[in-house]
Amino acid sequence: MAEMENFKQKFYDCSAKSERIFNLTSVPSEIIAPDLTILKANAAFADLLGFQQSELPDTSILAYTSEEHQVHWLNLQNELWDNDVDEFIFETCLIKKDKTRVWVKVTTIFFNEDGDSYGYSVFENLNKSQSTEGKLNLNEHWLFRVLETMAEGVGIIDKDGKVTYANSMARKILGYPADMPVHKHYGLFWKIKNNNGLTLPFDDHPMTRLLVGRKALFGQNIMIESINGEIKHISLNAAPLIDEYGKIIGGIGTFMDITPKRQLELLKDEFITRASHELNTPITSLQAALQLLKRRKHNSTDPKMPLLIDQANKTLNFLTVLISDLLQATKMGEGKLNLRPTHFKLAGLIADCCYHIRLNDEYTLRTEGETDLTAYADADRIDQVLTNFISNAIKYASGSKVIRILIEDLGNAVKVSVIDSGPGIAADKTEHLFDKYYGIDLQGKHFSGIGLGLYLSSEIIKMHNGTIGVESVLNQGSSFWFTLPKLLENY
């Protein structure tokens, strides 16, 4: 019995010495419980934060941590108490009593006492260090402040697809409370939906394509489901994060909530669709009446009658094309325009689609290049693209009497270019040519149309997994081009 009492006394003496060393050491230190509650804090740690030593016990360390860095302590909690890690080191930012911030390096060791587990943390004040590392941490602090005030949502993932950071706007758009951890796989963080409201297959997820393809994505308009089940439309840009060795270490995505804008577009498209359908009936009647008048126009005693009938037919044809374009644009926006691909010779399609122009001797259409090349595509849709390109060349470059159609073999794809020698287009206008409803004035002249032809052409080529573009030099001419994959499996 005497031996046991002697052992207990030595133990208490040892504990008292440890307590004294803990309190007197100049190194800021604390002991935390598994729920991150501060059990003990020495005077140096209290001085670091500007508090009285008695104010810190029974408070959470998260109360002294800036919001964007609380994840560091949550990672520590996970590693020490869930993954049985003995030591955990990280750098973070703490908030002092006067609301100023201090950057620290935290080293925490895991220990057990009387069946309970604790974390013992020591802090190194990085603000006092003039090292490059300290300066980098201060820059990181300012970077996080910028990210937190951005009007766009920002999400960062690691190479395994785990979300490591989401700023305040990202949380707001996706419905995450400020204090809710977001450290989950991006497939759960960004629940992407297709046009039918179904969850997008994993391989088609923008972040999957980013990590696999290692290429940036721009202007991806997609639907997402927030954690409360609300469907939102967002515009997403994303880029891979590459280290100095060329290895991918993650990705970053920025996105904006465009739901109100999308809803207005849907209302507008619905109105256009209804109006177009309502116009079809009177237009059909007009076409029938004008066809009858055209047959009898030379029987009229009025010399102006044939001219007026021809002009009426021309205007009606323009109106018919306009309505068709509006309906196609609406179908494309709803993902309802389907392709019917077949094999065909490009040169033959070019000859057929421009037959009406060849009948008029005013313009010469010259097909050049690999005229034997075959494409696998929807011939009617490609005909529409070619007709639009050639009609635009005649319309905007009327002085260019020779229009070249060049067919090229790019290996896995074919390229078709419609080239004129007209006035050309300024660089600040070419970047918008394929935008919806974009109209262009050339040399002070305004041309009829509502800016859907090139937009529809662009969407058709994209549906074929091809590319489309324009090259133009002022006073020298323009080349509108598109590419189509050769192989069936590329669709």
Q: Kindly report the CATH number assigned to the domain that includes residue 318.
A: 1.10.287
Is it the case that residue 491 has pLDDT exceeding 50? no
**Residue 331 — φ and ψ, nearest 5°?**
-65, -40
The pLDDT-based confidence of 137 (bands split at 50, 70, 90) is low
| Summary mean pLDDT of the chain | 78
The pLDDT-based confidence of 56 (bands split at 50, 70, 90) is very high
181-195, 222-236, 324-338: the lowest-pLDDT one: 324-338
Residue 4 lies in a domain: no
Is it the case that residue 480 has pLDDT exceeding 90? yes
Give pLDDT tens digits for 27-41: 899 999 999 999 999
Among the three residues 134, 161, 177, which one is the final residue of a domain in this structure? Answer: 134
Among the three residues 332, 355, 377, which one is the final residue of a domain in this structure? Answer: 332
Give pLDDT tens digits for 77-97: 988 998 888 899 998 889 999
Is it the case that residue 272 has pLDDT exceeding 70? no
Q: Is 201 found in the same domain as 119?
A: no
For 436-453, b/e burial (b = at least 16 CB within 10 A) is beeebebeeeeeebebbb
Give pLDDT tens digits for 2-14: 444 544 444 344 4
Among the three residues 281, 306, 332, which one is the final residue of a domain in this structure? Answer: 332
Residue 423's pLDDT is 87
Range picked from 262-271, 283-292, 368-377, 386-395 for highest mean pLDDT: 368-377
Residue 337 lies in a domain: no
Residue 10's pLDDT is 42
Choice between 295 and 239, residue whose per-residue pLDDT is larger:
239
pLDDT cut 70: percent of the chain above it: 71
**Residue 295 — φ and ψ, nearest 5°?**
-65, -25
Residue 291 lies in a domain: yes
Tell me the C-alpha distance between 109 and 121, whole Å: 7
Residue 60's pLDDT is 94
**R_g of the chain computed on alpha carbons:** 35
Residue 1 lies in a domain: no
Q: Is 38 found in the same domain as 122?
A: yes
Q: Kindly report the CATH number assigned to the domain that includes residue 37.
A: 3.30.450.20
Residue 14 lies in a domain: no
Per the structure, the count of domains in the chain is 4
Residue 346 lies in a domain: yes
Between the alpha carbon of residue 140 and those of residues 48, 133, 137, 361, 434, the distances in Å are: 20, 10, 5, 68, 40
Amino acid at 427: A
Give pLDDT tens digits for 202-218: 788 888 888 888 888 88
Q: Is 377 found in the same domain as 319?
A: no
**95-109 average pLDDT score:** 91
Three-state DSSP at 12 gives helix
Q: Is 350 found in the same domain as 470?
A: yes
Is it the case that residue 424 has pLDDT exceeding 50? yes
Note down the domain range covering 179: 150-257
Q: Is 483 found in the same domain as 348?
A: yes
**Residue 16 — φ and ψ, nearest 5°?**
-65, -40
Q: Is 385 found in the same domain as 476?
A: yes
